[in-house]
Amino acid sequence: MTDLITTPNIIDADDFYADLLALHDGQSKERSDAINARLILLLANHIGDREVLAQAMRDAAKP
């Protein structure tokens, strides 16, 4: 069983973050919401592991 990785795992974190924001540049709220939802679905399928996904959901809802 794999655990959700919660230590730094993205190389060039600043670049990733900039890409994430750029994705939404100039988009309407409606389109941004749609992009986010598609992104979550694409990433969730890539991960696949239900336990990892469940951990991510729990952690996302925690704060």
| Cβ nearer to another protein, comparing 12 with 50 | 50
* # chain residues binding another protein, by CB under 8 A: 9
Token pair for residue 12? 């060039």
Site residues for another protein, 1-30, by CB under 8 A, read: none
| Cβ nearer to another protein, comparing 18 with 41 | 41
CB 35 within 8 A of CB 27: yes
Query: What is the smallest separation between the CB atom of 39 and another protein, expressed in angstroms?
Result: 9
CB 49 within 8 A of CB 2: yes
